[in-house]
Chains A and B, each alone.
Chain A
Amino acid sequence: MTTANPSIDQANTLPLKEKLAKTTAIQRRRAFLLTLPLVLFLLISFVFPIGQMLFNSIHNNKVSAVVPDFATAIQAWDGQGLPSEATFEIFVKDLAKAKKVREVGRTVGNMATRINYEMPGSRSLFTKSARKVGKIKQGPYKEALIKIDKKWANPQVWLTLQRASHDISPAFYVAAMDLKYNETGEIVEADELYQIYLNNFVKTLWLAALITFICVLLAYPVAYLLSVLPLRQSNLLMIMVLLPFWTSLLVRTTAWIAILQTEGVINDLLVYFGVIGDDGRIQMIYNQTGTIIAMVHILLPFMILPLYSVMKTIQPTYMRAALSMGSKPFYAYRRVYLPQTIPGLAAGTLLVFILAIGYYITPALVGGQDGLLISNLIAYHIQKSLNWSLGAALGTMLLVVVLLLYWVYNKLIGIDKLKFG
């Protein structure tokens, strides 16, 4: 087989099927190029930060970055008694060197903070000693360091240092699950007085479920009314549903404070009409009730809108047909109408539940001592305590819980049935 121009020849002999495959492949590539901006956007604004969060929750190099030689040397220690004189010498020299560093992430203070997470009260041990180790010019280093502060004779300090010398560690998940390392380095349950995260997870999920349930109860009739009323009335009603959407979240929350507080509108009215006495004013805010009321109000449109969009498409003839065939109204509703609204119901439930889990401004403002949800604790660690790794670990756990629920939900209802509008 020798032809002058094999390519043309080949093209002519290609079967139609392959040609088609080729052109569709080109089209598909083009279509992909069109979605590229979105893909890039998702990568930068979604995948990358979440990856960073996952990484932060297990990675913390605040010991190895500050005292690098020591971080290597301490690994050889068997954990019995105190480390060797040679290790002490490396530590003293590293610490003296680190004292002069002012680069972010590499100062003695960074290491002290890291150790303090696992051994509360040890922060000043590092910062104070660092100021004095420069004076130690010769051995025995062990004695000299313990002379600066006798806490250096406590093996727990060295065990914690050894553990924290690993850049990758589960330490922050240990803390996030109400566990701790004890004096000998085993993972045990934290003291009951300090347990907070697991209970809080349960509380947050329960509250979100309750809020979702109330939203369903309130939104279903409203959405139904919206879908059956004549256009003029339903438009007016729609504006009333959407109006809160156009108001700032803070304004709405503050309005609830003005209405619900003990000297507020509702209590004043009740006292005025003699329903309750002036000393019997009802506490409706700065507790769980306040959180539920304000959050239901804020999240209600997210339930009404998907429900409405689905109900609008349901033909009234179906119900009429069922009724004309002798079905009782409730039976017809349950067997004919309700199943058709499931896609909207499912979408609204998912939307409200997931939003409710992550809400934290409203509970913080109106929740009082019950207003501490898991997202508030995450915000606390990101903004106040600056323990970003613990915040990241809690965030990751929240993400996993949401994904798990999503999976269960998908099994029960089927995500392809969702209809947002």
Chain B
Amino acid sequence: MNKIINKTLIAAAVATTMVAGSVQAEDITVVSWGGAYTKSQVEAYHKPWNGYTGNTVISEDYNGGLAEIKAQVEAGNVTWNLVDVELSDAVRGCDEGILEVMDHSVLPDGANGVPAAEDFLPGALAECAVGNIVWSTVFIHDESKIQGVDGLKDFFDLNKFPGKRGLRKGAKPNLEFALMADGVEPADVYEVLSTEAGIDRAFAKLDTIKDSTVWWESGAQPPQLLADGEVVMTTAYNGRVFNAIASEGKPFVINWDGQVWDLDLWVIPKGAPNQEATMDFVKFSTSTKALADQASWIPYGPLRKSSFGLVSSFHSDPSLDMAPHMPTAPANFTRALQNDFEFWADNSDQLNERFNAWLTK
């Protein structure tokens, strides 16, 4: 009797594990930058995809960089299925062989029938990556405290606007900001920065505000620093600032002059499990509609041209049109600089070393 019960129990357990296993096999872990940005992806990609396929997306946060991917791949224990990375990391990770090569031919055509290869903006389809959004580093101020900020040069003008400034702790993109504030046109920034004299010039400009600078490291910090009154102006990621303005009613103003924009892309760590389901998610999340939906949660520009016209209003406020808040909106784009991933791939080690040395002097 006991034996029979035992056997039945074992059989039941085996059956349950197999069923659970087959269901679980389709779950994927998608890693992104957290906060309002991850929320936009959960709403626009994860939930609808779950509705169509029944597969669950487990969302994890990270702070950028390739360290975790590299560690997982080298240890042969990859738990992340898909990661949202900056262009420079997508290219570098691909070069170093820690990312899977992506087959762009499986991506769906745009909603207007344009093939994916032409629908995506230039640079969005890299060897190991599929792009999803344009984001930007801008500088912001609190309109209730100071008025009349006129362009990037005022960020470096301590006489006109006394008080602390917030900058990201790192060479990128502070050197670009410094040069543009010093009168270099966006088109010439990386050319100037390629010379020793140009680097000196950028650091000299940073020197003028060094003693009044608070350094931030994660994207959630700058809006908080500004809200606390710890700084009067700070650089920040445009999406997070918009959320502080639209959802929390903060009197912040985004200054688009001299914005430095970059792409975020999906990459698959080498040897990740469930790649078929992951690719299905990539196809879904970079479709015309999903990218346009994403943009109604946070003003990060979709990377498909066919999505532009479909970008609607803020999810919680139908009267708030999202299009003018995109980094790529024509009014915001007059003096914009695209982050040069190749320049940073070549020089980030050296420039960060000099930046760190400069910082501690």
Chain A contacts to B: CB under 8 angstroms: 101-110, 112-113, 116-117, 120-124, 127, 193-196, 199-200, 203, 261-263, 286, 364, 368-370, 372, 377, 380, 382-387
Contacts and interface: CB of A to CB of B under 8 A. Distances in A.
A347 to B, nearest CB: 32
Contacts of B283: none
A368 B347 contact: no
A110 B230 contact: no
A372 B97 contact: no
Contacts of A123: 345-346
A195 B357 contact: yes
A110 B215 contact: no
Contact of A382 (B67, B95, B229, B347): B67
A196 B171 CA distance: 15
Interface string B335-360: 00000001001111110111011111
Nearest to A281: B229
Contact of A383 (B67, B270, B352): B67
Nearest to A286: B214
Contacts of B353: 194, 196
A112 B354 contact: no
25 contacts: A101-B97, A106-B97, A107-B96, A109-B94, A113-B92, A113-B95, A116-B346, A121-B347, A122-B346, A123-B346, A124-B342, A124-B345, A193-B358, A194-B353, A196-B357, A262-B230, A286-B215, A369-B215, A372-B356, A377-B356, A383-B65, A385-B348, A385-B349, A386-B65, A386-B66
B92 A372 contact: no
Chain B, interface residues (CB within 8 Å), range: 35 or more
Interface string B227-248: 0111000000000000000000
A113 B342 CA distance: 13
Nearest to A382: B67
A258 B347 CA distance: 37
Given A109-B97, A261-B230, A384-B65, A196 B356 contact: yes
B317 to A, nearest CB: 29
B313 interface: no
Interface in B52-79: 65-67, 70, 73-74
B275 interface: no
B39 interface: no
B98 interface: yes
Contact of B95 (A108, A194, A369, A385): A108
Contacts of A199: 360
Contact of B217 (A108, A195, A364, A370): A364
A386 B360 contact: no
A109 B347 contact: no
Nearest to A193: B354
Contacts of B213: 369
Interface in B197-254: 210, 213-215, 217, 228-230
A382 B66 CA distance: 10
B96 A110 contact: yes
The 8 A-B residue pairs whose C-beta atoms are closest, nearest first, are: A109-B95, A120-B350, A107-B97, A196-B357, A109-B96, A383-B67, A263-B229, A123-B346
Contacts of B36: none
